[in-house]
Structure 1
Amino acid sequence: MRRPTIIDVADKAGVSKSTVSLVLQGSAQVKPETRQLVHAAMKEIGYVYNRSAANLRSSGTALIGLVINDLTNPFFTEFATSLQMALGSRGYAVVVANTNEDPEIQDQVVAAMLEHGVSALILSPAYGDVSSTLAAVERAGIPMMQVLRRADGCTAKFPFFAPDYEDGGRAATQFLLDSGAREIAFVGGLEGRQVTEERVSGYLKIMHSKGLKPIVKTGKSSRAFGHAAAADLFREHPDCNAALCFNDLVAFGMINACHEANLKVGQDFQIIGFDDIKEASECWPTLSTVHCGVEEFGEQIADTILGWLQEGTVPSETKRTPVRLVLRQTTKNAD
């Protein structure tokens, strides 16, 4: 059920949004009868004023916590930077913490942020049991969004926003097939993890629809794994001539392995990454990849969390943002 907002109160009372704001602030400018009307409307529709968040904003010390699972990964760093800049431009300070994929560290940093009075939290959860983190936030009663990845089964309380990973996997695989590739591998991503399953699912759906046998090599999302996996792939599947990688870092490792094997990337062997971090357009050869729009995504999360915090506009439980395939030199027919 959607949480009532200040706009709903204004509509119910038949006054302007600014009048409701003045009533909530206790302003003497509002006539007593208007104040009574607004309070009656609030009671009738069940509107609850988040006074602590308002006090933080008015004092100029409003804080929002951002907890990231792995800031060593450029994808998450670019997202954190975009979000911090978007919130900063609206007068909010962002407290950033890296959990290094450790749920215990996540518990610690979230607890510290709550103690220091953050108005809201944005969480890219660590893998593992995060139930104590979620329970602490629920007890605190502040808005929290999950981004980029989610903990299972809790989106009703903690909405989840992420790019449409599955669609990206489909688009990349279909392009490789259209370019003439038939033995296409999916490389990288830890087995059983939600993001891996979503990215590989698009690949699998296209491969199965064409009656083609998938080749999946899961593992760490790193250059080192991409390099090692490529060497294994060349040995075990000599006819394989294309790969969709879990992320751009894995793709960079595969590019290096192709150079060592004297394979012409984009001709002898096609590679598509995932995320479109800045380095993807700066490496050699430049990397074709699934663009997740991380900068725009950060700005959208800022708008959403502030709408929730300031106006009481609760986000939808789940939202997927669009992705698109960017073609560069590691694939055929690139512009």
Structure 2
Amino acid sequence: MKKRPTILDVAKHAGVSKSTVSLVLQNSPSVKKSTRDDVTRAIEDLGYVYNRSAAGLRGAASGLVGLIINDLRNPFFTEFAASAQMTFARKGYSTVVANTDEDPEIQSQVIASMIEHGVSAFVISPAYDAGGSAFDAIQRAGIPTLQVLRQIDERTGVFPFASHNYVDGGALATNHLIDAGCRKIAFVGGLEERPITLERMSGYCNVMKARGLPVETFYGRPSRAFGREIALEIAAKHPEIDAAICFSDLVALGMLSGFAEAGVRVGDDFKLIGFDDIEESSLVYPRLSSIRCDTGAFGEHAAEAMLAWIVDGVRPPNTKRYDVELIKRQSSLGI
């Protein structure tokens, strides 16, 4: 990635001191108009307008990081964002947080605005955008950017990617249910053909096919409402299905509600496993088995990786995946 211009580059280009450039950036009235014009032209020539907070970041105790999240209503992403933000704060960095609500147009607008306001770095859990134009804008601005939890840009040499090992998670859940005697296991939730859906499903599909068992999928928006709807459908139309692995805990929690409504005893009549292990999973009844991704620790790791990049020049690996574990509770073990 091309080296971003610094305040010293601007000063040299304009033929003035670093302190004069700082005064111009602060809109100080003490700088005469001709000098201000020289500095402004230098800023425009070098593209420094997009990187105002980059000056002096190495070893500095201040800076601004753009943290962009695809769905802050989901507690999984909220926990990640809170953990990353607090890690940046402990190192003296401010964080501007934005929710894109899974809308690529909003994502592009937010990225453009943050670039103009001079963020030093981006950590992005992206909304899916086939065009990828927002990341092109980041590349032109030369801002270090880490993709997390979802990957929408294949250029990991430019935009490194960090996530969890979802494939192993699906396999752990499936093997556990088969060992518990289940044979008609469904995968519930996730939008069809979305990369994240395919990733979370793949471990399940691999194990089911290896064991000679049928794959059954119910695609849909990963929400409580969808989970409840599918639980009622399974209870009424698919009594042969004896277990499910859900795309997310939100789907699984909805299924708990739907099965309670239908009189199906989760844990005994039907076994259920969620994905993410949000806090509510251990508080509901029956307590929900789930694939734990330790999102809090992941948020810390992502922030620390970005700080090492912008402060010490240690770039994250192109791709990094963190281990997951299966937390077994009543919904798969029995009540």
**Counterparts of 1:205 and 1:166, CA distance in 2:** 9
SS in 1 for 2:122: strand
1:112 aligns with 2:110: no
- Whole-Å Cα distance in 2 between the matches of residues 269 and 194 of structure 1? 28
Residue 305 of structure 2 is aligned to residue 304 of structure 1:
yes
Please report the TM-score for the alignment, with normalisation by the length of structure 1: 0.82
**Corresponding residue number in structure 1 for 2:99:** 98
Superposition deviation, residue 58 in structure 1: 6.9
For residues 114 and 61 of structure 1, what CA distance do their matches in structure 2 show? 17
CA distance in 2 between counterparts of 1:59 and 1:204 reads 48
Residue matched to 1:263: 264
Q: Which residue of 2 aligns with 1:233?
A: 234
CA distance in 1, matches of 2:221, 2:167: 19
Letter in 2 for 1:317: N
Matches within 5 A, 1:144-155: 144-155=145-156
Q: Whole-Å Cα distance in 2 between the matches of residues 232 and 280 of structure 1?
A: 23
Provide the rounded CA distance (Å) in 2 between the counterparts of 1:275 and 1:68. 16
In structure 2, how many angstroms separate the alpha carbons of the residues matched to 1:84 and 1:128? 25
Structure 1 contact 179–333 (Cα < 8 Å) conserved: no
Matched with 1:286 is 287
1: CA distance, partners of 2:121 / 2:216? 42
Query: Which residue of structure 2 lines up, in the alignment, with residue 243 of structure 1?
Result: 244
Write the deviation string for residues 300-319 of structure 1: whole angstroms up to 9, x where unpaired: 00110011111111111111
Deviations 1:51-107 (A, max 9, x none): 963525777541000001111111100100010011110110110000111111111
The answer to whether the 8 A contact 1:54-1:310 is kept is no
| Corresponding residue of 2:122 | 121
- 1:87 matched to which residue of 2? 88
Distance 1:155 1:233 in 2: 41
Corresponding residue number in structure 2 for 1:70: 71
Structure 1 match to 2:177: 176
Q: Give TM-score scaled by structure 2 length.
A: 0.82
Rounded to whole Å, the distance in 1 between the matches of 2:62 and 2:153 is 33
**Residue matched to 1:314:** 315
| More deviation, 57-66/146-155 | 57-66
Alignment partners' CA distance in 2, 1:51 and 1:245: 44
Task: State the match for 1:324 in structure 2.
Answer: 325
SS for the counterpart of 1:268 is coil
CA contact 2:235–2:259 (8 Å) conserved in 1 = no
| CA RMSD of superposed structures (Å) | 2.0
Structure 2 unmatched ranges of 5 or more: 4-17, 19-50
Mapped partners of 1:53, 1:313: distance in 2: 16
**Residue aligning to 2:12:** none
SS in 1 for 2:263: coil
1:152 shift after superposition: 3.9
Whole-Å separation in 2 of the counterparts to 1:260 and 1:281: 21
Query: 1:22 — aligned with what?
Result: none
Report if the CA contact (8 A) 1:62-1:118 is conserved.
yes
Aligned length: 288
